[in-house]
Amino acid sequence: MGIIETKKLIFEYIRRDEEGNVEGITRAVDQVDLDIKQGDFVAILGHNGSGKSTLAKHLNAILYPTEGTVWVDGKDTAKEEYLWDIRQNAGMVFQNPDNQIIGQVVEEDVGFGPENMGVPTKEIWERVEESLKAVGMYKYRKHSPNKLSGGQKQRVSIAGVIAMHPKCIILDEPTAMLDPNGRKEVIRAVRALNQVEGITVILITHYMEEIIHADRAIVMDQGHIAMQGSPREIFSQVERLKELRLDVPQVTLLAYELKKSGVSLPEGILTCEELIAALPV
Amino acid sequence: MAIILNHVSHIYEEGTSMEAAALKDVSLAIPDGQFIGLIGHTGSGKSTLVQHLNGLMKPTSGNIFYNGADIHEEGYNKKELRSKVGLVFQYPEHQLFEIDVFSDVCFGPKNMGLDEKEVQLRAYAALKQVGLEDDYFYQSPFDLSGGQKRRVAIAGVLAMKPEVLILDEPTAGLDPKGRDEILDRIAALRKETGITVILVSHSMDDVAKYVDRIVVMNQGGVMYDDEPKKVFRYYKELEAVGLAAPQVTYIMHALKEKGYPVNTDAITIEEAKDEILKALGMKS
Amino acid sequence: MLRDITLGQYYQTESVIHKLDPRVKLVATIVFIITLFLINNFIGYIIAAVFLACMVKLSKVPFRFMVKGMKSIVFLLMIAVVFNLFLTPGEPLFSFWRLTVTKEGLKLAVMMAIRLVFLIIGSSLMTLTTTPNNLTDGMEKLLSPLKRLHVPVHEVSMMMSIALRFIPILLEETDKIMKAQIARGADFESGNLIKKAKSLVPLLVPLFISAFRRANDLAMAMEARCYRGGEHRTKMKPLIYQKRDRAAYGVLFAYAAVCIYFGRIFTI
């Protein structure tokens, strides 16, 4: 069994009118089966409203399944006795950098998780130091979060999660509100965590450039899994991605267009270097 | 010439130890009907600059002229200026407040003192311009999806019938399709009405295929100001200040280095494809 | 820049007073205020003045920062002085028009003025030398015995520190929404009171919606990081009394004893 597994996961929102009568039911997540191995880097893609964020919130017991089951590290998220274990093992980083930093000083914010877990004071300091170093924010430890850039704030949020020593970290569109520099900073930090620390990463995004380094990509649409495979396999299906309101990196699109015009190229080119190497001389 | 900026600077906390220049000696001329991309990373001064164009911020030195008149001259009608130079802020859906979509869009024209009928005609036309279906007109703006809310907010500014439309990061937080929809709408609108558009963005990719001219801001000053393909020739310098040219530019330069006879000015996928096919001796 | 506003106007520098445990400073401020109201002669005030002057000197905060806080209470101070001056019955000193100044009134007015000025300087000394966060921590620890009476001490202090973090963010947001509405022709300045109040709707509705959205997000983020109230919680920066804190308590109580002894026994 992997670190995260879901079986026939269904989640329904019940819409009510002003008197509280049920107006309708929206199925945000529909029959999702996932199996994520320890140490994997998995990207979950999908347009806004495809159900990807709702799915993410099931992975650390913020939402509970309407039907089906979610296991984190072998523990059923619907069982209350596992709640704190699950939240510690599956850390979560959210979209808006301003709305998830609690401390007024960077180091205090990173210490918030360990404090809640009841970690002894001395160890909190050690964890804060190592976490801030892991995301390259150690020299900002005495700063006020309000004065940091978006990318820096998100790295602080990531440090706040890894200070809890999770086995897995779920990032729910961590770069959606950042500029290109901030996006790069955050993705670099996330990749380092995955490769150096061996933490399982689940990255939810709609920026296609960010998933190139993932081991596996899952595309969501209308609550269910529409596509699944390596980034290369996913990107080779340009038309299908467009139908799903997504796009592909420019270089992939260019290679796709060239191929259509008769240039012989392999499927799913992801980087400029690949394209140049593959072009016939 | 619609807008002229003459040596405009904006310095915060002038004369104190906290002194920080948000704008440094910016001179620009924005003629009628142009489609301009204003590019820069966070903190480059681009948002400060656009707030000067409709008089929300006042330069600490320098002058701004709109249709020949200094907008900070005594007695200048700022309210009228703001209806002529429409500014759509970043995440504009955060300013929606009315009980339904239609009344929210009416807010701008109503403030202009127009009569009820004209207000409604304008609101209706603006909602049509952003492509919102009639079914949504009497819904609460808060029940719409993110992309729809954003379009309502843009309509709220369009309803004032501005001559210049400024959009600050209109695609932030939208998914790829939503982003293309908004940008295509704006491009179409400009074609139909001939309105001047200033698109503020930190992404070259987004603006490259739409705009006639790119103004690159860095550290409060104008770094480059030219047509897109000329600006992208400086792709190495742009990278040094944390901006990137479109991926296509990199590909074309790399190909040129490898000896392919391609024109490195290609910026869209379409242009790049034609160039590469030509270089390979194939017809598109 | 709105983000730069710090509530409670903390002044960053290295000094003994800055390093003291926030509980010491809270207790000291309260004790100092109590002594001010117990004293009824000028010797007491001289002692208090010397004590206060020493503390200000030790804190290394420029005196003008203390005076800054005074500006806001000038009006209050004047009212207190005027009322005491003219409305205290006793031996008349001089009178003009229908008002009479008495000897007792003069004494009371001067005392009241001194009390208020000292009170303001004393409490701004505390806020200038203690970060808001430190202050909430100190309050939580100091009031923790009240937990037994089911007073939600931890929750209140958590609320205060979250409020302190979000005030600058919401101020900035207010500024942004206001500008966005002005760009749509809104007018927040002209008109009578009713019109003005009405003009605030386009500002307040989006602001409240945003505040609730932030609250919701933050609550989720806190839960995701295992927050479950004050139980089982450890502290990254626990408050532990150092030698200097004990010494400070000693000095404080010595001052209070001397001040009250001389301040209440001698009379002029």
Smallest Cα distance from B78 to chain C, Å: 9
Q: Considering chain B, what percentage of its residues have pLDDT values greater than 70?
A: 98
* pLDDT for C68 beyond 50: yes
Is the model's pLDDT at C4 over the cut of 70? no
How far apart (Å, rounded) are the C-alpha atoms in residues C252 and C244?
A: 12
Q: What is the pLDDT of residue C9?
A: 67
Query: What's the confidence (pLDDT) of residue C173?
Result: 92
pLDDT band at B1 (very low <50, low <70, confident <90, very high): low
Q: Residue B34: what are its φ and ψ, rounded to 5°? A: -80, 155
Are residues B115 and B181 in contact, defined by beta-carbon separation less than 8 angstroms?
no
Q: Which residues of C touch B168 (CB under 8 A)?
A: none
Answer whether residue B177 shows pLDDT above 90: no
C53 has pLDDT over 70: yes
**What single-letter DSSP state applies at residue A209?**
G
In angstroms, the CA B212 to CA B35 distance is 5
Cβ contacts of A161 on chain C, cutoff 8 Å? 225
Put simply, the answer to whether B160 touches C184 (Cβ < 8 Å) is: yes
- What is the pLDDT averaged over residues C88-104? 78
Query: Cα(B98)–Cα(A43) distance, rounded to whole angstroms?
Result: 38
Q: Is the pLDDT of residue B31 over 50?
A: yes
Beta-bridge mates of residue B178:
none
Q: How confident is the model at residue C168, as a pLDDT? A: 84
pLDDT of chain A along its 281 residues, tens only? 789 999 999 999 887 777 777 878 889 999 999 999 999 999 999 988 899 999 999 999 999 999 999 999 999 999 999 999 999 999 999 999 999 999 888 999 999 999 999 999 999 999 999 999 999 999 999 888 888 999 999 999 999 999 999 999 999 999 988 888 899 999 999 999 999 989 999 999 988 888 888 999 999 999 999 999 999 999 989 999 989 988 888 889 999 999 988 888 888 788 888 898 888 76
Q: Which domain holds residue C93?
A: 2-145+239-265
Say if A96 is an interface residue toward chain C (CB within 8 Å): yes
B19: left (phi over 0), alpha (psi -120 to 50) or beta: beta
Q: Chain C interface, mutation test: which of A58, A64, A98, A123, most C Cβ atoms within 10 Å? A: A98
Per-residue pLDDT, B191: 92
Instruction: Assess B18–A contact: CB distance below 8 Å, yes or no.
Output: no
Reply yes or no on whether the pLDDT at B162 is more than 60: yes
Quote the CA–CA distance of B166 and B10 in Å, as a whole number. 19
CA B145 to the chain's CA centroid: 22
β-bridge partners, A91: A169
Q: Quick count: other Cβ atoms within 10 Å of Cβ B121?
A: 14
CB A52 within 8 A of CB A22: no
Q: Cβ contacts (< 8 Å) between B176 and chain A: which residues?
A: 47, 206, 208, 245-247
- Residue ranges of the domains in chain B? 3-226
Q: How much is the pLDDT for A281?
A: 66
Q: What is the pLDDT of residue B284?
A: 52
Contact B83 C185 (CB under 8 A): yes
Size of interface A-B (CB pairs under 8 A): 88
Q: In angstroms, how far is CA A204 from the centroid of its own chain?
A: 4
Most confident range, picked from B271-275, C41-45, C74-78: B271-275
Residue B138 reports pLDDT greater than 70? yes
Tell me: pLDDT of C8 over 80: no
Class of the domain covering B3-226: alpha beta
Across the range C107-133, mean pLDDT stands at 86
> How confident is the model at residue C5, as a pLDDT?
41
pLDDT averaged over chain B?
A: 91
Distance from C-alpha of C116 to C-alpha of C37, rounded to nearest angstrom: 10
- Searching chain A, which residue's CA lies closest to the CA of residue B257? A276
State the smallest CA–CA distance between residue B13 and chain C in angstroms: 9
Say how far apart CA C105 and CA C84 lie, in whole Å.
5
Which CATH fold would you assign to the domain A38-65+72-232? Answer: Rossmann fold (3.40.50)
Q: What is the pLDDT of residue C1?
A: 38
DSSP 3-state assignment of A130?
helix
Domains held by chain C: number: 1
| Contact across the interface for B173 and A47, Cβ inside 8 Å | no
| Average predicted confidence (pLDDT) for chain C | 85
Please, what is the end-to-end C-alpha distance for chain C in angstroms?
Answer: 52
